[in-house]
Amino acid sequence: MIGQSIMLVGAHADDVELSAGGSVHKWRGQGRDVRVAILSADEAPLRHAESLAACMHLDVDHVYALGGRDKSLHHSIHALIEPVEHILHEHAVDTVFTHFHADTHQDHVSAYRIMAAAARKVPNFLMFKPTYPSGRTDIPFQPNVVSMLSAEDIDAKVQALDAFKSQRVKYGGDDWGRAMHAVAQGDAWTYAGVHGYAEVFQLGRIRI
């Protein structure tokens, strides 16, 4: 369903790994071209360094650090559209993943607005499932794309999350990875009706 040139755009380092790390590992194993962009990375060099380490576990070596400011991406919406659009065009990206438009984190909403404009010519557009504490809003996320993962994919995701040492303390140390492991099992059963692991997304548009 998805294309061969995929770009995942997160407001912050660790957003992509949390939302789609297992799928990224799967797609790289299938030979797809995968790129990651972090909109607020210039304001958080430590977290960008952690993201580079995390992406090594996912076999991704194209990680872009863009110029937004953490917690204030709304000030950079117009400035970031053009550089993102340039990356999409330069690499003929045919599939974009980014944040859900009704996420409750202000930077995630800004990331959606940036990508809705920058990726307006990209055929396939999908959105991440909000991760707690994001997403507690009156507009529900509606997952309608299920990416099934192998044990190797989910293990790679947890290893990628372990690279974010600055965030592990904030979100409970080893419990953080275990929680994401459990979420992947729950999503496989809830949305695919099978035992295993999955990540889910909401489809914005697709060209078949």
CA distances from 190 to 55, 57, 75, 144, 196 (A): 28, 27, 38, 12, 11
Question: What domain range includes position 169?
Answer: 5-205
Q: Report the interhelical angle of 45-57 vs 15-29 (nearest 10°).
A: 30
Look up the CATH number of the domain holding residue 34: 3.40.50.10320
- The number of angstroms, rounded, from the C-alpha of 47 to the middle of its chain's C-alpha atoms is 15
pLDDT of residue 43: 56
Contacts of 4 (CB under 8 A, 6+ apart): 32, 33, 94
Mean pLDDT, consecutive 10-residue stretches, the chain (208 aa), reads 92 94 97 95 72 94 88 92 97 98 95 98 97 82 97 96 84 82 96 97 94
pLDDT of residue 38: 94
pLDDT of residue 42: 58
pLDDT of residue 96: 98
pTM for the model? 0.94
Q: Cα 191–197–199 angle (5° rounding)?
A: 60
pLDDT of residue 132: 78
| 143 φ, ψ (degrees, to nearest 5) | -65, 125
Q: What is the rounded (10 degree) CA torsion for 114, 118, 124, 127?
A: -10
What is the total count of domains within the chain? 1
Q: Cα 144–208–189 angle (5° rounding)?
A: 25
Of residues 19, 12, 18, 5, the one with CA closest to residue 127 = 19
